[in-house]
Structure 1
């Protein structure tokens, strides 16, 4: 927990109201999202019991498994879920596309104009969909115990969405608990924030309402033990038609809170870099739709060693990029880095925009500026800094001089000023400009060079070890 979040939690505890920890929304909110609230039974891992879903708050659709331990009914439920979810997911691949330049404009690729967004209440809902995808994407549509063709297709879609949810900053499968916790801090513990009803009440009404919400229905996929014993078990044992009504009453409060949470998040101004992350989601969605159309094979049960290493690196790069983008978009998030000494703000007191460095093979434009700051400066000469206002420009620290009020930091600028020996207008900070500088950077991180799976040892998926070569050297004789 960061210093500012801890302070916000203390303030929330004192006032009884959740405190904002972001000034902008760091998540794309779709104009036409699909809300999906899954519910599972206790006693058997990930056995579906019900799901409430829909793209309209006024028209929820409830799917129920009357006998959750009956495999035929469970796959019938999966088929119904596929009929409700797959058309929504696939519909964005039926719209238009746009050309995106690649290879520095020498080529283009095409991506769809939009992508789906499926909301679940909490991280456990994401895990439920991941496991449901694993259990359905390999099912056969012929032979013994066939399933409808939509079931394995649903499994591929759910696996795709669950995989995207692991990428920091992705918005195709958000969950309400994490989305709300990213923008507000409550006066309760992180474990208590996992209760969707309590978290939502803290933000919208306060601590007293949150205490009452703790006694209300859970947001799934697990059910409350008391509800299981007193209500659910007798209805299932008797195959009672009242089961559907009981589950509808259980899920409706969560359904309403989900849509209210989406509206609450939508009311926040969108961060400047949210759109670029959604563009990345559209790229991934477009690639997956193409895979379904051209190949259609389900995702493997597990990644090979090389694929797993490459995926881990992509996730690490995405996490680092997401942290930087949030800080650049939001002064309140960047304040955390200022407290840690990774950023400081000041005013430009000197600026030489036409300075030329001719010590190399050819002259280059290298303006210098002086920034006066009253904040602690914990960077050494030679450190490269960037400014959120000019993220493509680098500022190299030449010197840090203590003053009576703080520090004077001399910086040499490069990049982001055009290709000529005269800087483009506005590309160099002017005297009197307030400037924020940080060690954070959005600079591109090249991927590592991973070997081909065939070139790895057999322990990592490569060719198996062959028998010993009979023509090889003989073993040395034992001493006599």
Structure 2
């Protein structure tokens, strides 16, 4: 509706496929009903988050090895498509700045829900995170369909392509999935035919009902129709989850979820210790930190995907950032005695089928030996179009040259390895502490203090 960027109508939510909870708003123009919907949603989401925050583990972090705590399990919200992520972000923006007293007061749980939804939306923009996911985006990251990117935002069509019924092609199944009578759109768009016929007549009857009994009858019928519209999408999301659970887990998934759990716990602690909502706009320092975080997370995510998936690494081989070869020579006991103390520096020679586009002196790593950096010492022709790459292993060899090498520390003859200049261990950028922000950047920013005007959102 005009002026209502996220007026809710209905939602199915829950953690069990067989028992979704239906939340409805029978008249979205009614402010009390809209925020009543948010309060009922908070009764589902907040206990789920609180239970996760209560079960923690301790770990050491930072240069000072400070003891911190993080949740043992991280949260995960799944919506049908990218539009659902945007809608939850707008709902968080609408609710986190509301007053809990006065003429238009809302429950404190509504405000807390808004803060959490805003955190989920912000965190979802960091590549590699898994706290708020659109099912269409996750599926199309692992399967290819025969339709456009825009069409890939329709969950039923995506599932039809990648998991068609027996005896049918993906294209034929996708054509059927585009029929709103068979697969009603939901998440958050609705079928305009359903809106103009069924929904409008029920909502009009609800508004014009002359007594509570009649109004409740229209409300029950509206609930039944809305649930029928959303159940196919609800089932489609769970079907997508089943398909994803059948895939092998990537090697860096545990690391990414560990970061998610740490960020989740840190925000939960912030809400306890401070609790001020996110501002309507980022301050300059916060925006700079967030931009750096997103850019570095994007680079790290691409590197981790390459280390986890040979098909992704193949793209980097084509761009000259990686090469693959077979070990044809090795010197596991080689020592470098050019310094004050000898250092163990084994070498291996890889034979590759084409000239690597990597410079001598470059530091490379192998996905099979991620903790073992190596330096390209020389590249030489080996005849018949092959080339030999001499690598000096500079780390991951155990302690001291007098100690025996750990088993398998140096690649064996005949072992096929891929090496790349990509580095998944690169450290993030370091910003000065907020209180040390230099005057050239405006000095230390003032903490955000919400005002009564902040609740008046500008949606244009």
With the length of structure 2 as denominator, give the TM-score of the two structures: 0.87
* Cα distance change of structure 1 residues 75 and 266 upon mapping to structure 2, 3 Å threshold: same
Q: Which of 78, 87, 97 is 2:38 aligned to?
A: 78
Question: Which segment is superposed worse, 354-363 or 69-78?
Answer: 354-363
**Where does residue 380 of structure 1 map in the other structure?**
359
Q: Secondary structure at the match of 2:378?
A: strand
Q: Secondary structure at the match of 1:346?
A: strand
**Where does residue 394 of structure 2 map in the other structure?**
414
**Displacement after TM superposition at 1:458 (Å):** 7.8
**Where does residue 212 of structure 1 map in the other structure?**
176
**Displacement after TM superposition at 1:363 (Å):** 2.3
Q: Distance in 2 between matches of 1:104 and 1:354?
A: 34
Q: Secondary structure at the match of 1:174?
A: strand
**Where does residue 265 of structure 2 map in the other structure?**
286
* Cα distance change of structure 1 residues 446 and 252 upon mapping to structure 2, 3 Å threshold: closer
**Where does residue 225 of structure 1 map in the other structure?**
192
Poorly superposed stretches of 4+, deviation over 4 Å: 103-107, 450-454, 457-463
Q: Secondary structure at the match of 2:9?
A: strand
Q: Which of 100, 110, 124 is 2:69 aligned to?
A: 110
- What aligned pairs does 1:419-438 form with structure 2 within 5 A after superposition? 419-421=399-401, 423-438=405-420
Q: Which of 218, 221, 245 is 1:266 aligned to?
A: 245
**Where does residue 131 of structure 1 map in the other structure?**
90
**Where does residue 7 of structure 2 map in the other structure?**
47
Q: Distance in 2 between matches of 1:265 and 1:432?
A: 35
Q: Distance in 2 between matches of 1:388 and 1:458?
A: 40
Q: Deviations over 1:393-446 (max 9, x none)?
A: 222112212231421111111011123115433121122111111121112224
* Cα distance change of structure 1 residues 369 and 270 upon mapping to structure 2, 3 Å threshold: same
Q: Gaps spanning 5+ residues in structure 2: where?
A: 165-169, 207-217, 447-460
**Where does residue 306 of structure 1 map in the other structure?**
285
* Structure 2 residue 414 is matched with structure 1 residue 455: no
**Where does residue 235 of structure 1 map in the other structure?**
202
Identify the structure with bigger relative contact order (alpha carbons < 8 Å, sequence gap 6+).
Answer: 1
Q: Deviations over 1:326-349 (max 9, x none)?
A: 111111221222222222211111
Q: Distance in 1 between matches of 2:40 and 2:396?
A: 54
**Where does residue 423 of structure 2 map in the other structure?**
441
In 1, are the aligned partners of 2:345 and 2:392 still within 8 Å (CA)?
A: yes
In 1, are the aligned partners of 2:8 and 2:25 still within 8 Å (CA)?
A: yes
**Where does residue 21 of structure 1 map in the other structure?**
none
Question: Which segment is superposed worse, 320-329 or 235-244?
Answer: 235-244
**Displacement after TM superposition at 1:122 (Å):** 0.8
Q: How many residues align?
A: 422
Q: Distance in 2 between matches of 1:207 and 1:439?
A: 40
Q: Distance in 2 between matches of 1:458 and 1:449?
A: 12
Q: Deviations over 1:43-91 (max 9, x none)?
A: 7311111111111111111111111111111111111111122111221
Q: Distance in 2 between matches of 1:360 and 1:88?
A: 58
- What aligned pairs does 1:463-474 form with structure 2 within 5 A after superposition? none
**Where does residue 159 of structure 1 map in the other structure?**
118
Q: Distance in 2 between matches of 1:451 and 1:164?
A: 21
Q: Which of 156, 161, 180 is 1:202 aligned to?
A: 161
**Displacement after TM superposition at 1:318 (Å):** 1.1
* Structure 2 residue 349 is matched with structure 1 residue 349: no
Q: Secondary structure at the match of 1:238?
A: helix
Q: Distance in 1 between matches of 2:294 and 2:282?
A: 14
Q: Deviations over 1:282-328 (max 9, x none)?
A: 11111112122222221222221111111111111111111111111
- What aligned pairs does 1:387-402 form with structure 2 within 5 A after superposition? 387-402=366-381
Q: Distance in 1 between matches of 2:69 and 2:445?
A: 34
Q: Distance in 2 between matches of 1:317 and 1:458?
A: 21
In 2, are the aligned partners of 1:136 and 1:155 still within 8 Å (CA)?
A: yes
**Where does residue 91 of structure 1 map in the other structure?**
51
In 2, are the aligned partners of 1:344 and 1:436 still within 8 Å (CA)?
A: yes
In 2, are the aligned partners of 1:42 and 1:222 still within 8 Å (CA)?
A: no
Q: Distance in 2 between matches of 1:460 and 1:260?
A: 51
In 2, are the aligned partners of 1:196 and 1:219 still within 8 Å (CA)?
A: no
* Cα distance change of structure 1 residues 318 and 51 upon mapping to structure 2, 3 Å threshold: same
* Structure 2 residue 363 is matched with structure 1 residue 404: no
Q: Secondary structure at the match of 1:185?
A: coil
Q: Distance in 1 between matches of 2:278 and 2:294?
A: 18
